[in-house]
Structure 1
Amino acid sequence: MIAVLLLFALIIALIVGLWGLGTTVSGLVRRRPRRSLRGLAMVTGSIAVVVYASATAFVAMELGDGGTDSSPPHACQTALPDRDATITGYDAGYFPPHFNCHLNNGTQYSGHVVPRFVLPITLVATTATVLLALAARRPVPARSVS
């Protein structure tokens, strides 16, 4: 079920991103800066959604991986820092997306399911979306007639 929702989010984000790209180009050609800013806000918002949805898809795929040799999870087996330690469990979540593995000595480590760039890109794209949307709403100063 979550895979269908993530796929739906990715498709909608792609459509909105392409629409925003068209709006940006149209605003630049017609010299309408507010329209261009709205289009850029749509593009950056789509980037944030695509990156975040991809990260949650990685976590969901790792959680759904089962069958032979699936305990402990493959991510924990491949990222194990100390071959003498025993994996006792794992912790996964979607906000922020993470997949951590727990060892018998009480420590935990990342299963490297979610790439490190996900959170910074999502935060920067979300901030850019908000700032661009606010800038697009700001009234354009009236032109002086001379």
Structure 2
Amino acid sequence: MAADSAGGHDSILLLFICLIGVIVIFTLIGMVGSGIAKRTGRRKTQDEWLGGTALLSVCATVALYIWGALHVMFMENDNMREECAKAGGAVKAAQVDRYEAHYFPLRFTCHIDEGGSYDAAVPGYINPAMTIAFVLAIATGAVSVVARERRVVA
């Protein structure tokens, strides 16, 4: 998804996605908390630990996405050139003719009138950390399912 600026209809959609993300985070944290409360007094099994880790990893992925999306979404027209200057220097920022927001992966791109471009505004750790949290969620979720099936069969 891309837009010529960080404002407009795409920002409204992104705000809606962020709102749903916050609801998902609280729901998943509630699920983890309820799982902990139900199992007090007995030792947790490996699949329960892995399942909880998977849910918390999903929460981390969604939270990181929301944090990065807020950097893109709240870029006002006045701040766009300033962010481009921070990322590429004043000389490059003076040559910027348009901006583009990408929401997957998260990035804010400054396009130079001579044909080049460079990214700005989204902290550099967001996309790699989001990828790591997502891979951790998938891996621990899959291992949790396998461990649960082995426990049920045994």
Judge same fold: TM > 0.5, yes or no.
yes
Give the corresponding residue for 2:91. Answer: 83
The TM-score, its normalising length taken from structure 2, stands at 0.72
The answer to whether the Cα contact below 8 Å between 1:27 and 1:35 also exists between their aligned partners in 2 is no
Unaligned 5+ runs, structure 2? 1-11
Moved more, 14-23 or 37-46: 14-23
Aligned 1:1-146 pairs, distance under 5 A: 1-2=12-13, 3-20=15-32, 23=35, 30-31=42-43, 32-62=45-75, 65-66=76-77, 70=78, 73-83=81-91, 85-111=94-120, 113-138=121-146, 139-140=150-151, 142=154
Q: SS of 2:67's equivalent?
A: helix
Higher relative contact order structure (alpha carbons within 8 Å, sequence separation ≥ 6): 2
Q: Deviations over 1:96-136 (max 9, x none)?
A: 1111112233322222x111111111111111111111111
- Distance in 1 (CA, whole Å) between partners of 2:39 and 2:51 is 9
Question: Structure 1 unaligned runs (5+)?
Answer: none
Match of 1:116, SS state, is coil
Task: Render the CA deviation track for 1:68-90: whole Å, top value 9, x for unaligned.
Answer: xx386432244342527421112
Distance 1:15 1:37 in 2: 18
| CA 132–25 in structure 1, closer or farther in 2 if over 3 Å, else same | farther
CA RMSD between the two structures: 2.7
Name the larger-Rg structure: 1
> Is the Cα contact below 8 Å between 1:24 and 1:38 reproduced in 2?
no
Matched residue count: 136
Q: CA deviation at 1:24?
A: 5.8
